[in-house]
Amino acid sequence: IRDEESGYNKNLFCIPKHYEEDLDRVFIPHGLILDRTERLARDIMQDMGSHHIVALCVLKGGYKFFADLLDHIKALNQNGDKSVPITVDFVRIKSYC
């Protein structure tokens, strides 16, 4: 996405009422995020080969992306021609500084 991208008109999307006054435009549609997350899962599976995957989620902000990414990886594990072991863990950080 280019810096000069103006985004999409918010009227093209279903925006929860409590966000309507706070938003002017939608820059990255949810479907695009889901598609890129699925592609990232495919890339991870391809790059890891048959190596064990250790997935570490930084709480609290990353849990939804993490869950979506793991769902895609698990689907590829179940429906693909190979299965890779996955270990999941979580870490909580008080400050990013």
Question: DSSP letters along 38-63, please?
Answer: HHHHHHHHHHHTTSPEEEEEEETTTH
Does residue 27 form part of some domain? yes
Domain enclosing residue 13, as ranges: 8-92
- How far apart are the C-alpha atoms of 77 and 63, rounded to whole Å? 20
Residue 53 forms part of a structural domain: yes
pLDDT band at 97 (very low <50, low <70, confident <90, very high): low
Domain count, the chain: 1
Dist. CA 79–CA 86, nearest whole Å: 15
pLDDT digits (tens, 9 = 90+) for 36-73: 999 999 999 999 888 899 999 988 778 899 999 999 99
Pure H helices in 1-97: 17-20, 30-48, 63-79
pTM of full prediction above 0.95? no
pLDDT tens string 4-28: 888 899 999 998 999 889 998 898 8
Instruction: Give mean pLDDT, residues 68-82.
Output: 90
CATH code for the domain of 20: 3.40.50.2020
Amino acid identity for residue 47 in this structure: D
> Is 88 domain-assigned?
yes
Q: So what's the pLDDT on residue 18?
A: 93
Phi, psi dihedrals of residue 23, rounded to the nearest 5°: -105, 140
Quick check: is 1 in a domain? no
In-domain check, residue 22:
yes
Tell me what pLDDT residue 35 has. 95
86's tokens: 């996955």
pLDDT confidence tier of residue 82, bands split at 50, 70 and 90:
confident
